[in-house]
Amino acid sequence: MQYRLLGRSGLAVSELCLGTMTFGNTTSESDSIAMMHDFLDRGGNFLDTANVYVQGRSETIVGKAIKNRRSDVVLATKVRFMTGEHPNSGGVSRKHIMDAVEASLKRLDTDYIDLYQVHVWDHATPIEETMRALDDLITAGKVRYIGCSNFFAWQLMKSLAVSDRNHYARFISIQPQYSLVSREMDREMLSLCLEENVGIIPWAPLGGGFLTGRYSNEEPTAGRLTAKQGESSWALRATEKNFAILEAVRAAAERLDKTPSQVALAWLLRREGITSPIFGASTLAQYEDNMGAIGWTMPDEVWQTLNEVSALPSEYPNRFIAKFARPF
């Protein structure tokens, strides 16, 4: 396992992050704990959860697994979505942040959270209020670093500007959806993160299972891609371009004697700006498959082929800038 610094910080995280969204749901508690222990034993140190995963059960299981190895772990969780019925049980107001962090600390059975992330932008709360509350958590020692997830580029830049102007702690990372079949952040977010040195920890690096190679052109009857809406719905994934990408992944896997999942993750590991893809697994077999993405380097020509087949179409203003806005 290799390690990378997370954004503009001295925090070293493993090149893969173990996501825990299924823990306590499709993944049993015993399998979940076995995965986390094996991940730590093999040099992984980065675990990601959220206060709304399985109604908080994911955090509880993570807390059990790391109780005797807390200092070995970079523990990330999130705040934003509704956790109750009263009007202040969601969002990123000072009240909800302060309430939510205490609830997460209790479930995780720990005194501190390494990386506390805003799950998505809150239009109802001024970002100044949010950043001040998060900065106060760092000062109090309950949180050590902060990050965000699912932001637009302007939202991230505004957050950074508010922090800089007021001398608050900055977001050191962003958690966006990013994979060979979901490269929308290439338009603006990737260049912003490179410019501001914000770490990128992608979720759904396998396209919700689409890039595992388990699916054909026929609509599936089991698995995450049976969803009728949302990012993992078959309607979003089953496009002509995505199937072309999948065929390129399968061809690369056959050439390299790897699995499609390993190829898709390895492409991300070589992508500039990507710190640590977050992979999830419902079974121990899926976990073992994903762990096979590390310990080898994808050849340049294979990486470039995958990069080209998955690239976004030429669009303004990047198209214009590439042609006319030369430095001299």
Residue positions annotated with a catalytic role = 53
Residue (of 179, 203, 224) closest to 76 by Cα position: 203
Contact between 253 and 214 (Cβ < 8 Å): no
Contact between 125 and 87 (Cβ < 8 Å): no
DSSP of 273-289:
TB---EE--SSHHHHHH
3-state SS record for 56-125: HHHHHHHHHHHHHHHHHCEEEEEECCCCCCCCCCCCCCHHHHHHHHHHHHHHHCCCCEEEEEECCCCCCC
For residue 260, say if its preceding peptide bond is cis, omega within 30 degrees of 0.
Answer: no
Q: Rounded CA gap, 232 and 280, in Å?
A: 14
Which residues make beta-bridge pairs with 13?
4
How many other CB atoms are there within 10 angstroms of residue 82's CB atom?
Answer: 13
Q: Rounded CA gap, 146 and 199, in Å?
A: 11
Q: Rounded CA gap, 4 and 15, in Å?
A: 6
What is the DSSP code (8-state) at residue 25? T
Residue (of 228, 179, 206, 183) closest to 281 by Cα position: 206
Tokens linked to 62? 């993570």
For residue 62, the one-letter residue type is V
Residues 6+ apart with CB under 8 A from 146: 115, 116, 117, 118, 134, 137, 138, 169, 170, 171, 172
Tokens linked to 158? 């505004």
